[in-house]
Structure 1
Amino acid sequence: MDNSIRLMALRLFVRVASSGSFAEAARHFDLPASSVSRHIAGLERSLGQRLLYRHTRAVRLTDAGERYYQDIRQVLESLDLATEQVIGGAKHPQGVLRINAPVAFGRRHIAPLLARFQDENPAVEVELTLSDAFIDPVHEGADVVIRVGALDDSSLVARQLAMQRFVACAAPAYLARHGQPRHPEALSEHNCLIYKGTRGEQPWYFYTQENTQAQRYPVTGNLNSNNAESLVEAALQGQGIVLFPTWLLFDALRDGALVPILEDYHPMGEASREGIHAIYPENRLRSQKVATFLTYLTAQIGDPPYWDR
């Protein structure tokens, strides 16, 4: 296997290993699936080791394949970074920038900013993936992962983009029919539209200036969903009360389509205040495309963030 063929086989292997799919690797590299299979079979023959277990519905790594994947992925990342720095230089970001973000935040606050970023950096190709499931940027090959809420301790670098501010609100039509709750305890008498994600139902917390210890209040309602925008739409139709961060609600609040309630209290979707972060492996910041994007994103969001001005 000559060096150019081996390099392609390695890239295909890493893509199959990270995605668990020959078909996805074939789409990514614009190759027939049979070509992907042939390259990896050739790589396995040259190594004398089986790297992948092939099943009808899934592909998984052998023990040898797992060790090889971890080493080769790092080597390819270093190679791509070195190539980018030599070819592009410090003034010209280039290459594929892989961004992962939560669905609602990415659709509202990442996707709209990409056109200008790419106008200013025409040699950068963006691959944007929206998913509410946490992904490991190292394992998945992402350059930047945007995450909302609490962060687990890890070896990754995190840059805070903004703090989250929550609002409890409802449509004027709902409040006209059911009245304004005067205390968070009164929410038990209202139809609350509840977000239910991978960690279960989002709790509703409130605190005051006098008592900064957040207290959880029980809420119930006739609609819950793992899609926050669906719940906001239901609230706009007058179905009930929602509690969400302002980055999701700012346009409806600005237009008066939703009205804040319980304004003497500070609502929260977590027991403590949480932020919005960009996380990435430490070596990614040496990439000019990543550093340029993070600088651009921070400037565009601003402090305070534009949705809270």
Structure 2
Amino acid sequence: MHLKAHRFFAMVAVTGSFSATARHFQVPASSVSRFIAALEREVGQQLLYRNTRAVKLTDAGQRYYVQIREVLELLDTANEDISGKVGDVRGLVRINAPVAFGHLHIVKLLDGLYRQYPDLTVELTVTDAFIDPVQEGADLTFRVGHLQDSGLIGRTLCDQRFVLCASAEYVQRYGKPAVPEDLQQHCCLVYKGTGGAQRWHFRRPGTEATTIIDVQGPLRSNNAQVLVEAALAGRGIVLFPSWLFDNEHFRNKTLVQLLPDWEGSVDATPSQIHLISPENRLRSQKVRRVWDYFLDAIGSPPYWDNLT
């Protein structure tokens, strides 16, 4: 079977669209349909469900896609190596990120990536579940939190810096806490996930002693952005990593940082943000270039830590 049919099928599997695949390869949509129909006849299985609204993989199509995806990636890597076209970065790169991190940062950073590599196609999947990058076919994965031991190549982007803050309106009405214990007399907006409501940890820089506060307040949520919006509306105090905030809110004094002489967290041990990838994917020139782009664009320390 013609290699082009496999490439068309793989792109339809990713985009869910014959027309998007046709635009990507700059061929008529009828050609994509014809090649894939011929592929289905060759393998003796229906690979795609087609209707007027969407194109989806059948069970057989899903298994087939997983198998040929690795073959196509190896072929692309071999082509890159043999061609020696150092500046020719094109094709598909799959990125996975947590939901909020993807929405707040990765989407914005993609603008610069496309300007640098206009022939690149990105598939961005956002989920708060810890996926297996190898099984899911992710080239690059951003992971927030503690990194489990694995066979993946990982790079620590930064330690998470937590910021305690409230709106200027809240501070004007209720004042500022002087020490962490004062938070028990304030309205705190608390993240509550599968592990229960978070406890807030504070320590003086350079010391090991930690003060743990069981905070209370008018709102709990399993969505951090909901709580940030509530803080902006003057409902209370939040403690979140700096990357969850828009820096402009601090620059224009909409949000006021509290207890700046204390280090806050929601964990007993510091947590980080990591960029990870299966080792074989970093052999690909395009994946390595995207990896390097994100490291440079985020910086060290990361740009989101600059709150002034």
In which range does the TM-score fall when normalised by the shorter chain?
0.7 to 0.9
- The residue that corresponds to 1:95 in the other structure is 91
- C-alpha displacement of 1:72: 5.0
CA–CA distance in structure 1, aligned partners of residues 236 and 34 of structure 2: 54
Deviations 1:33-90 (A, max 9, x none): x9999789757758xxx99xxxxxx99979xx97x88765533432232234445722
The equivalent position to 1:237 in structure 2, one of 233, 241, 246, is 233
> Runs of 5+ in structure 1 lacking a partner?
52-57
1:283 maps onto 2:257 in alignment = no
Q: Give the equivalent residue in structure 2 for 1:298.
A: 295
Residue 224 (1) aligns with residue 230 (2): no
RMSD: 3.5
Aligned to 1:112: 108
Q: How far did residue 281 of structure 1 move?
A: 0.5
For 1:134 and 1:85, the matched residues in 2 are separated by: 32
Greater Cα shift, 93-102 or 212-221: 212-221
How far, CA to CA, are the matches of 2:178 and 2:130 in structure 1? 37
Aligned twin of 2:179: 183
Instruction: Normalising by structure 2, report the TM-score.
Output: 0.77
CA contact (8 A) 2:5 2:39 kept: no
For residue 189 of structure 2, the aligned residue among 189, 193, 218 is 193
**Mean Cα displacement is larger for which, 37-46 or 176-185?**
37-46
User: Partners in 1 of 2:67 and 2:91 — Cα distance?
Assistant: 22
Structure 2 residue 263 is matched with structure 1 residue 266: yes
- Tell me how far apart the structure 1 counterparts of residues 248 and 144 of structure 2 sit (CA, whole Å): 19
Specify whether residues 302 and 136 from structure 1 end up closer, same or farther in structure 2 by C-alpha distance, changes over 3 A only: same
Structure 1 residue aligned with 2:122: 126
User: What is the Cα deviation at residue 266 of structure 1?
Assistant: 0.9
For 1:42 and 1:200, locate their aligned partners in 2 and report how far apart those are by CA, in whole Å: 53
3-state SS in 2 of match to 1:134: coil
Q: TM-score when scaled to structure 1?
A: 0.77
Instruction: Specify the alignment match of 1:149 in structure 2.
Output: 145
Q: Which residue of 2 aligns with 1:55?
A: none
Percent identity, please.
44
Which secondary structure state, in structure 1, belongs to the residue aligned with residue 173 of structure 2?
Answer: helix
Aligned residue runs from structure 1 range 32-111, under 5 A: 45=44, 72-86=68-82, 89-111=85-107
Secondary structure of the 2:142 match is strand
- Between 165-174 and 222-231, report the one with greater CA deviation: 222-231
Q: Say how many residue pairs are matched.
A: 289
For 2:108 and 2:202, how far apart are their aligned partners in 1?
32
2:162 pairs with one of 150, 156, 166: 166
- In the TM superposition, residue 129 of structure 1 has moved relative to its aligned partner by 2.5
Structure 1 range deviating more: 108-117 or 271-280: 108-117
Q: Which moved more, 1:201-210 or 1:82-91?
A: 82-91
Instruction: For residue 237 of structure 1, report the CA deviation from its aligned partner.
Output: 0.9
Post-superposition Cα deviations, 1:106-125, rounded to whole Å, max 9, x if no partner, equal 22322222222211212212
SS in 2 for 1:282: coil
C-alpha distance in 2 between matches for 1:160 and 1:114 = 20
Residue-by-residue CA offset, 1:4-36 (whole Å, 9 max, x unaligned)? 4884698489x5xxx9xxx9587985789x999
Q: Any conservation in 2 of the 1:148–1:275 contact (CA below 8 Å)?
A: yes
Distance 1:267 1:292, change over 3 A: same
Report deviation, 1:213.
Answer: 4.2
> What residue ranges of structure 2 are gaps of 5+ in the alignment?
23-28, 48-55
Quote the offset at 1:251 in angstroms: 2.8
Instruction: Say whether the 8 Å CA contact 1:100–1:130 is kept in structure 2.
Output: yes
Label 1:241 to 1:82 Cα distance change in 2 as closer, same or farther (>3 A). Answer: same
C-alpha distance in 2 between matches for 1:207 and 1:126: 41
Q: Report the CA distance shift for 1:84/1:226 in structure 2 as closer, same or farther (over 3 A).
A: farther
Deviation at 1:219, TM superposition (A): 1.3
Q: 1:72 to 1:170 in 2, by over 3 A?
A: same
Letter in 2 for 1:217: I
